[in-house]
């Protein structure tokens, strides 16, 4: 089965085409990206997507739809994340998109983002990873999830994305007093959520996804992307601190020349690094592994898990029949193997011990 996944994010619109079937490793066939920086466009218009910007989005999605047809996709699953979630006129733009292209763009709740991404990380590392803690930094939000099963015990999304931090709190290059204020602000924002995570069992493995974490790992010495997906990559708190001392004195133009940093994302690298530092500190994480699979792979895997003979075909014979969102999937919180545990199962004494998988968080 050839599937297309269209991810409308804060910075890019990304089409990923894979060959996959239930129980198999999804094989990437083609990947196309268009830089739109939707979050910046929306922010510049007071929370709305202007008509010209909506035109650009619709044209980009129509082009991706044509590319999916040309690639032989049987289905196109299209979804949007925090930028469209934040737009005051999102419903209006989505209605227009559907009328002009037939594409049903599903806006994922932040918690579902965390759950799909967690599923991808769980499948990548397998059951041997034990209790798994996931961190993902996007342009507009930070996702975190923790659990020992394929569905996490706790999944959250916070408006602490790399681009959002850079737009709202930092100059280019940032001033040192801005860095200090940003660190203090992030500590306060993360404290209540970190407390919830610490009530659950300590993770056996901590992993991170997203371009932000991959860039940070590369800049601290991890292997380049050309080495392949299966080369282990890590990010340590020490390496991150040393990197921050360096990049906080650079402009985004200078950072774009660094290996592993794209010109499209250089402007938000410092913001993303500060979020990563704050999240690791709040959760007591000193080292994390970089997972090559993330949200798009999670959407594909959940779709394949629930293939039941109904192909939910979006394209037939090269003609758009129904360019759906992720409605071919069950809701992210549902688990085919049974109901999931939730936060209420955490011990009331706050020790961080669980009967199934007990260990204490570092205090």
Per-residue pLDDT of 274-318, as tens digits, reads 999 999 999 999 999 999 999 999 999 999 998 754 444 333 323
Residues 68 and 195 in one domain: no
Domain tally, the chain: 2
Asked, for residue 357, whether it belongs to a domain, the answer is: no
Asked, for residue 334, whether it belongs to a domain, the answer is: no
Residues 120 and 237 in one domain: yes
C-alpha to C-alpha distances, 96 to 11, 15, 54, 90, 279, nearest whole angstrom: 21, 20, 9, 10, 38
Residues 277 and 159 in one domain: yes
Who's near 77: CB < 8 A, 6+ residues apart? 3, 4, 5, 6, 299, 300, 303, 314, 324, 325, 326, 328, 329
In the block, residue with structure tokens 């599903």: 106
For residue 342, count other CB atoms closer than 10 A to its CB. Answer: 12
Asked, for residue 222, whether it belongs to a domain, the answer is: yes
Residues 66 and 123 in one domain: no
The pair of three-digit structure tokens given for residue 126, joined into one six-digit string: 């397998």
Q: Provide the CA 221 distance to its chain's centre, in angstroms.
A: 23
Q: Are 247 and 216 in contact (CB under 8 A)?
A: no
Question: Which regions of the chain are under pLDDT 50?
Answer: 309-322, 328, 335-360
Mean pLDDT of the chain: 89
For residue 256, count other CB atoms closer than 10 A to its CB. Answer: 16
Q: Provide the CA 13 distance to its chain's centre, in angstroms.
A: 13
Q: Are 216 and 272 in contact (CB under 8 A)?
A: yes
**Structural domain span for residue 271:** 110-290
pLDDT for the residue numbered 332? 67
- Residue 214: CATH number of its domain: 3.30.420.150
In the block, residue with structure tokens 């949007």: 80
Q: pLDDT per residue over 128-174, tens digit each? A: 999 999 999 999 999 999 999 999 999 999 999 999 999 999 999 99
Residues 103 and 115 in one domain: no
pLDDT for the residue numbered 307? 78
Asked, for residue 79, whether it belongs to a domain, the answer is: yes
Residues 66 and 202 in one domain: no
pLDDT for the residue numbered 314? 37
H helical segments located in 211-310: 211-219, 237-247, 252-255, 269-282, 295-305
pLDDT for the residue numbered 54? 98
- Residue 67: CATH number of its domain: 3.30.420.40
């Amino acid at each position: 089965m050839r599937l297309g996944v269209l991810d409308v994010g804060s910075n890019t619109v990304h089409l990923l085409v894979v060959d996959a079937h239930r129980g198999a490793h999804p094989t990437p066939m083609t990947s196309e990206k268009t830089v739109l920086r939707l979050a910046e466009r929306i922010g510049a218009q007071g929370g709305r997507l202007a008509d010209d910007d909506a035109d650009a989005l619709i044209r980009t999605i129509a082009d991706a739809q044509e590319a999916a047809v040309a690639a032989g996709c049987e289905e196109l699953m299209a979804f949007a994340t925090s930028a469209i979630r934040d737009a005051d006129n999102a419903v209006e733009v989505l209605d227009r998109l559907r009328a002009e292209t037939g594409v049903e763009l599903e806006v994922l709740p932040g918690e579902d983002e965390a759950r799909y991404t967690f599923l991808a990380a769980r499948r990548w590392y397998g059951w041997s990873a034990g209790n798994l803690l996931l961190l993902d930094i996007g342009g507009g939000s930070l996702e975190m999830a923790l659990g020992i099963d394929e569905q996490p015990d706790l999944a959250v999304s916070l408006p602490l994305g790399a681009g959002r931090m850079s737009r709202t709190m930092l100059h280019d290059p940032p001033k040192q007093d801005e860095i200090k204020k940003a660190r203090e602000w992030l500590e306060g924002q993360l404290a209540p959520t970190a407390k919830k995570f610490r009530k659950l069992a300590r993770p056996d493995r901590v992993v991170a996804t997203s371009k932000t974490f991959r860039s940070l790992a590369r800049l601290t010495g991890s292997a380049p992307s050309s080495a392949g997906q299966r080369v282990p990559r890590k990010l340590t708190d020490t390496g991150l601190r040393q990197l921050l001392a360096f990049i906080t004195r650079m402009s985004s133009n200078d950072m774009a020349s660094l290996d592993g940093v794209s010109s499209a994302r250089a402007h938000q690298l410092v913001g993303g690094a500060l979020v990563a530092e704050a999240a690791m500190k709040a959760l007591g994480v000193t080292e994390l592994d970089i997972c090559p699979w993330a949200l798009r792979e999670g959407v594909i895997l959940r779709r394949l898990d629930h293939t039941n003979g109904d192909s939910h075909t979006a394209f037939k014979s090269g003609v758009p029949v129904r360019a759906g969102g992720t409605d071919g999937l069950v809701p992210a919180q549902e688990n085919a193997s049974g109901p999931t545990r939730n936060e209420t199962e955490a011990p009331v004494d706050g020790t961080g011990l669980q009967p199934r998988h007990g260990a204490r968080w570092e205090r």
